[in-house]
Amino acid sequence: MVRIDFNRLRFLVIDDNAHMRRILRTLLHGFGAREVYEAEDGATGLEAFTHYMPDIVIADWVMPIFDGLELTQMIRQPGANANPYVPIIMVSGHSEKKRIVTARDAGVTEFLAKPISAKALFERILNVVANPRPFIKTRSYFGPDRRRNVNPNYVGPERRKDGKAEVIKQQPLLDKAKVVS
């Protein structure tokens, strides 16, 4: 199993439930993270995102002011903030396929269903640190590549219809996180 040295990564946890924020903070500290910032709603989360410049955002879906999807869309707007490429892990008690697809289409990097486990959280973080997906920019979408498996011969209903897509490779957070075996 690969281990990550978390002490050089900055996390931002955005959830309106103080108990869930405490659970996530405790798990991240248990993994070795030193910098874990918190916000209790989408608006405060966006301010904290701009102020703290986190390496990874963990956001709840359902929050007041604006929800996790709206927050994701605001973060993903190129030119609107300093890092539209930040990995976003969406946490939700609703894990139906329709919701996961909606989160993916909004630009969420990973999805984590409640109740969460330390193992599931670690796996999502490992994915965004060690295997960052390239970003896709089309007329109608900007965010992580929604395809996990690239098949150039795919012709199904999810085929990209916008024609040209700009593919933007992402640098792994490995250098910063110092992955150790």
72-92: pLDDT as tens digits: 999 998 777 788 999 999 999
- Distance, in Å, from the CA atom of 96 to the CA atom of 157, rounded to the nearest integer, reads 20
Count the domains in the chain. 1
**β-strand partners of 16:** none
Where does the pLDDT of residue 167 fall: very low under 50, low under 70, confident under 90, or very high at 90 and above? low
pTM for this model (two decimals):
0.85
Average model confidence (pLDDT) for the chain?
Answer: 85
What's the pLDDT score for residue 179? Answer: 53
Domain hosting 153: range is 3-180
What's the pLDDT score for residue 75? Answer: 94
Where does the pLDDT of residue 174 fall: very low under 50, low under 70, confident under 90, or very high at 90 and above? low
Name every residue whose Cβ is closer than 8 Å to that of residue 126 and which is 6 or more positions away in sequence. Answer: 2, 4
Torsion over CA: 144, 132, 90, 18 (sign): negative
What's the pLDDT score for residue 149? Answer: 57
49-77: pLDDT as tens digits: 999 999 999 999 999 889 999 999 999 98
CATH number of the domain within which 49 lies: 3.40.50.2300
Name the more confident of 4 and 26.
26
